[in-house]
Amino acid sequence: MKLRQPTDFLILEQLEAKGRNVATNLAAHTGKSRKNINTRLPVLEDYGLVRKIGPAERSGLYEITALGKAALVYQDQYDEVDDFESLIEGPSATADGPAEAAAFARGEDDEDEEN
């Protein structure tokens, strides 16, 4: 997973803060060009960080995924780790802190696993 900084994280932050959105609005909110946003959104979708949603197949409406939210939790570690993708997909740490926050962001719930 090769993210472009700060653009990709700005996109994720805006989708988390404002909800589902289109490239034109994301460009206005991030200060990046619409062309740049339109280039990055399919890449982020391929990584599973955002999802393209309807109503039409070519609508260009995107929302952040649970994995995208986990990426935001670990954003400050992006340059420090060799495998950011593995970090956000399933940290092995069980202590309170970022790992727990990332699990929550991914929609994982320990109580659900026990039942």
* Two tokens, residue 80: 């420090």
Per-residue model confidence (pLDDT) at position 93: 43
Query: What is the C-alpha separation between 97 and 107, in angstroms, rounded?
Result: 16
Per-residue model confidence (pLDDT) at position 97: 53
Which CATH number is associated with domain 7-65? 1.10.10.10
Tell me the average pLDDT of the chain.
82
Q: How confident is the model at residue 95 (pLDDT cuts 50, 70, 90)?
A: very low
Stretch 83-100: mean pLDDT: 66
Global pTM reads 0.74
CB 87 within 8 A of CB 81: yes
Tokens 């699990």 label which residue? 103
Q: Where are the domains of the chain?
A: 7-65, 67-106
